[in-house]
Chain A
Amino acid sequence: MKPDLKCHLTSDEIIAAVVDRGDLPADARNHLAACDQCRKEVEKIEAAVTGLGETGRQVAPELSTPVNMPTDRQRIRLSRAWGLKPVLGFGFAVCLLVFVLWGGRLKDAVQQTNVASTGSGANSLFEEADRLVENAMPVHYQKIIETESFRAGDDMMDFIVPSIDESYDFMGGPGMLNEEEISHAETV
């Protein structure tokens, strides 16, 4: 059958031809074989992508250090080390078990210490509160008062804080002479 040269390949068919010409339908393949325009379009894309890869291979660096493979002896050493895996695994498991057991005990001990320290702190707080209820004066001042030299006698205390039933008064209390008594005394 003669291909229809007027009906060119679509853009999708051109790309499909770049991927694999064998996948094109028979009539499209026949058209491509006969039509210069479509063939050039396919070849243009093919040349672009192929050229891209070629340039990439040209500008890619060379392998500067050849791959270094371990010798047989090194491989044997490695495989022997790898053979110790179960032993190492067992050792690790034992260590883990010991750590878990001891770690649990250690944790309990730490918790107990914390509880004890918390209890003693509460006790000292209550003691302090009781002391303040009894006497709120700071300890420093209490010490000063307790010293012998500062101890004032009753007179001094009465002078500072007079009693309400005191017999004399500077300002005309019960123990003071009034004006009549004074003039009588002068005449006598």
Chain B
Amino acid sequence: MPEGQSQSFESIVIRASKGDHDAFQHLVGQFQDAIFRMVFFRIHSEMDAQDITQEVFMAAVKNINRLKSPDQFKNWLYRIAVNRVTDYMRKKKFAAIFSPFSVSETRTSSDDVPHSNENQWPETPLFKKEFWKNVRTLTASLSSMEKEVFVLRFFDQQELSEIAAILDKGESTVKTHLYRAIKKIKNNPEKAILLEKGCS
């Protein structure tokens, strides 16, 4: 980010932290799509991703006055989102104990539209459904931290230093998790083929 833009961004964050509604609205406009996608990559449900995105910004507006470094706003926002997703997953798991069908009944974005017989890249619902199913298969054997680092690096396109800041870990720890994640996928022949095909 150029120096001028950076200063401008930081001043917006400072204004937002002092209760400037317009400044915060500006930040919402800048990050809402990225946060929504980030949440969707983890839960694969459009409806729930919308709700969680809303919750993330509500939590942010409530606590922005506690943010010490304005330049860390993005990482801080991502950390809120990661925590919200973790909460969501925990609740879903808890609900699944009492309702064994609730997990399979979760609506994914590809279920929201009727299936067609076409299977051409990348717009058809069937392609999307298969893709996310394959991504789930690919990351199924990864630990929660390995999965988080993998998705942050390759889906959310975050730098290693940013991932370290988001997860509040050291950069070397992040590298270790990423290394293990890639190794697990590459050493599994079935998953290696999926990866080569791009999960399509």
Task: Give residues in A with beta carbon < 8 Å to B.
Answer: 11-12, 15-16, 18-20, 23, 45, 48-53, 55-72, 75
Contacts and interface: CB of A to CB of B under 8 A. Distances in A.
10 contacts: A11-B186, A53-B155, A53-B156, A55-B198, A56-B41, A57-B155, A64-B50, A66-B29, A66-B32, A75-B61
Given A49-B153, A53-B155, A55-B200, 7 more contacts: A15-B186, A55-B131, A55-B198, A59-B132, A67-B32, A67-B54, A69-B21
Interface string B178-200: 11001100100000000110111
Nearest to B178: A19
Contacts of B179: 15-16, 19
A51 B198 CA distance: 7
A67 B154 contact: no
A68 B135 contact: no
A69 B50 contact: no
Nearest to B171: A20
Interface of B: 19, 21, 24-25, 28-29, 32-33, 36-37, 40-41, 46, 49-50, 53-54, 57-58, 61, 109, 122, 127-128, 131-132, 135, 138, 150, 153-157, 160, 175, 178-179, 182-183, 186, 195-196, 198-200
A26 to B, nearest CB: 18
A59 B182 contact: no
Contact of A52 (B57, B128, B175, B195): B195
B198 A48 contact: yes
A67 B28 contact: yes
A67 B182 CA distance: 35
Nearest to B150: A49
Nearest to B160: A20
Given A15-B179, A15-B183, A55-B200, A67 B157 contact: no
A69 B28 contact: yes
From DSSP, what is the main secondary structure of chain B's interface residues? helix
A61 to B, nearest CB: 5
Given A50-B154, A68-B54, A62 B195 contact: no
Contacts of B19: 72, 75
Contacts of B150: 49
A45 B175 contact: no
Contacts of B131: 55-56, 59
Contacts of A75: 19, 21, 61
Contact of B155 (A12, A16, A48, A56): A56
Contacts of B53: 63, 67
Given A18-B182, A55-B200, A61 B109 contact: yes
A41 B61 CA distance: 46
Given A23-B175, A67-B53, A59 B128 contact: yes
A69 B128 contact: no
A52 B135 contact: yes
Nearest to A58: B122
Contacts of B25: 69
